[in-house]
Structure 1
Amino acid sequence: MAQTLPKPALRPLLPADVAVLAAILVAAVEQLTGEDYSASQQEAWAATADDEEAFGKRLASQLTLVATLQNSPVGFASLKGADHIDMLYVHPGVAGQGIGSMLCDALERLAGGRGAKKLTVEASDNAEPFFAKRGYVASQRNTVNVNGEWLANTTMQKSLSEQKGATQ
């Protein structure tokens, strides 16, 4: 007999989520970005979540959604302002199971609801194919200094206007 898998759910950020979301960011960076970034780059990137108070303030200052499976957080995404995806991380244990797409779908709907005509993201090299598949178009390559290490990413943009009525 086939077993029914638990359905993922979305909810707003809760103050108690900060430590587990920091752990998800670290796990995602350490386990999912090795083909695109060196060990020292991964270490510097993961360290952005070391200061949980600062990380929590960053999450709380944005519209942050938490993806859960059986009420346990497994991913999160944040919308900075009305039109910029600042963070989108999924725990490696559930990568490729639609959690990232569910989070991105929700941010796109929320951004559109806030009047955004387009959505931008600075996609890491490992996330660029995910966003490209969703209709985001690369507009420029960037090199950013993160905790003393230089990391490359790509600014990508998606027009939200063609979605009106399509997702209702």
Structure 2
Amino acid sequence: MGQTLPKPALRPYLADDKPVLAAIFTAAIEELTGDDYSEAQQEGWAAAAADEQAFGQRLASELTLVATLQNSPVGFAALRGKDHIDMLYVHPGVVGQGVGSMLCDALEKLAAGRGVKSLTVDASDNAEEFFKKRGYVARQRNTVTVNGEWLANTTMQKTLATGGAQA
């Protein structure tokens, strides 16, 4: 008989999650962005998690959800303010298993439930297609400096469903 894969679950961010979420952040950047960013850009970007205390404070200051498989964190997403997806990272070992979609669905539902009409995200080049498939539309191209490295991303926006209908 075939084995049923465990289903991911969601829970709020806990302070004890800092080290594992920092590791997921770093692994996702190092293993999933090589086609779009140079090694120096990846290192500069990943350095944002080097100070676990500051990284944890950033997660705690936002509405951060953690995706788990069998109670182990495998991804996370954070909503900054009411209407901006600040971070969405999934461990490379579970890419393609619906973890990122589950996290994004949850943030979209939470935002819509709070009366938000649209969400924005500054999508990295490797995440742009993920958000495009979810109905996000590119609004502007950006260049940002992260730890001394220039990185490109795209601000994307999605109009959220209201009253059960897609606007």
Measured against the shorter chain, the TM-score band is: over 0.9
Q: Matched residue pairs, number?
A: 166
Superposition TM-score, scaled by structure 2 size: 0.97
Q: Which residue of structure 1 lines up, in the alignment, with residue 67 of structure 2?
A: 67
The answer to whether residue 124 in structure 2 is matched with residue 115 in structure 1 is no
Cα distance in 1 for partners of 2:162, 2:149 equals: 38
The alpha-carbon deviation at position 165 of structure 1 amounts to 1.7
The answer to whether residue 87 in structure 2 is matched with residue 87 in structure 1 is yes
Cα distance in 2 for partners of 1:57, 1:137 equals: 30
Runs of 4 or more above 3 Å deviation: none
The alpha-carbon deviation at position 16 of structure 1 amounts to 0.4
Cα-to-partner distance string for 1:135-166 (whole Å, 9 max, x where unaligned): 00000000000000000000000001x35325
Cα distance in 1 for partners of 2:4, 2:163 equals: 33
Cα distance in 1 for partners of 2:162, 2:103 equals: 16
Unpaired runs of 5+ residues, structure 2, are: none
Q: Which residue of structure 1 lines up, in the alignment, with residue 30 of structure 2?
A: 30
- Mapping for residues 121-140 of structure 1, pairs under 5 Å: 121-140=121-140
Q: CA RMSD in A?
A: 1.0
User: Percent identity, aligned pairs only?
Assistant: 77
Q: Which amino acid aligns with 1:164?
A: G
- Mapping for residues 45-56 of structure 1, pairs under 5 Å: 45-56=45-56
Q: Which amino acid aligns with 2:48?
A: T
Q: Which amino acid aligns with 1:39?
A: E
Q: Which residue of structure 2 lines up, in the alignment, with residue 164 of structure 1?
A: 163
Tell me the SS of whatever aligns to 1:5: coil
The answer to whether residue 16 in structure 2 is matched with residue 16 in structure 1 is yes
Cα-to-partner distance string for 1:69-123 (whole Å, 9 max, x where unaligned): 0000000000011100000000000011100000000000001011110000000
Q: Which amino acid aligns with 1:52?
A: E
Tell me the SS of whatever aligns to 2:96: coil
Q: Which residue of structure 2 lines up, in the alignment, with residue 148 of structure 1?
A: 148
Cα distance in 2 for partners of 1:158, 1:92 equals: 25
Tell me the SS of whatever aligns to 1:75: strand
Tell me the SS of whatever aligns to 1:43: helix
Cα distance in 1 for partners of 2:165, 2:36 equals: 34
Cα distance in 2 for partners of 1:26, 1:95 equals: 15
Superposition TM-score, scaled by structure 1 size: 0.97
